[in-house]
Amino acid sequence: MADRKPIDSWLTDMDGVLIHEGVPIPGADAFLKKLRESGKPFLVLTNNSIYTPRDLHARLRRMGLDVPIENIWTSALATAQFLDDQRPEGSAYVIGEAGLTTALHDIGYILTDHEPDYVVLGETRTYSFEAMTKAVRLINDGARFICTNPDETGPSAEGPLPATGAVAALITKATGKQPYFAGKPNPLMMRTGLNTIGAHSETSAMIGDRMDTDVLAGMEAGMQTFLVLTGLTRPEQVEDFPYRPSKVVDSIADLVDRI
């Protein structure tokens, strides 16, 4: 850490870092307030592709956390940016919610089930057998397979729910085709996020609660990484991984004075 350049911009995960089961984590409001007052570039990231940045801004605001829309970066936006770079004004068959369909509409993509360039799988609470069957047939007919994120389960008040990664595995089993995941831990999501705020990895930090997504993506993107223990990772689990975060802290509250 002593050899690293000062941190001029911050990226932070949302669930497990700023909020937990719809409740702000102590210190999150102070951290965000100090970031806004400092004028330093920052982004709040989420692998969840269900909501648009405007939706998430409103949801966070109801919890007492003020995050401007332009400071929210989702796996849906990262996926749309990737597709826009790869095949501008292309077409896609989409399984997902407004966060994903809006992001693709905004880059000029046509959403169709007629010979699409891509099948794009995102998060939804209503995965249907019909939609998955159509995705399998389109991929078999030549559509390229893209997923917003590899998370196999997602949280809910009742317990874990099957998520994008689990459904992707089903489609892969049926087609023999592996998807390209645009979200964390792909460092692409970090690098495209940094580009949107004009930041450089050498002077940026990533805060997360998961070793296998947040810390890994931040590390591979060349950033300093902070693991907080308010989410999914327990202290004893850190040693299970062949890589380490730059620093482990109890919560986001411990990083307020670093800004």
Does an H or E element contain 120, and which?
Answer: strand 118-121
User: Is residue 151 annotated as a catalytic residue, yes or no?
Assistant: no
50-to-24, 71, 136, 210 alpha-carbon distances in Å: 20, 17, 22, 20
Of 224, 243, 157, nearest in space to 12 by CA = 224
80-to-46, 88, 161, 206 alpha-carbon distances in Å: 15, 10, 25, 22
Catalytic residue of the set 3, 8, 15, 250? 15
Interatomic CA distance for residues 88 and 21, integer angstroms: 37
* Furthest CA-CA distance within the chain: 55
CB contact at 8 A, 136 and 171: yes
User: Is residue 15 annotated as a catalytic residue, yes or no?
Assistant: yes
Interatomic CA distance for residues 53 and 49, integer angstroms: 10
Catalytic residue of the set 13, 209, 212, 214? 13
Pairing of the two strands 153-154 and 161-162: antiparallel
Strand, coil or helix: what is 145? strand
Interatomic CA distance for residues 106 and 97, integer angstroms: 14
What percentage of the chain's residues is helix, strand, coil (to nearest 5)? 40, 20, 40
Residue positions annotated with a catalytic role: 13, 15
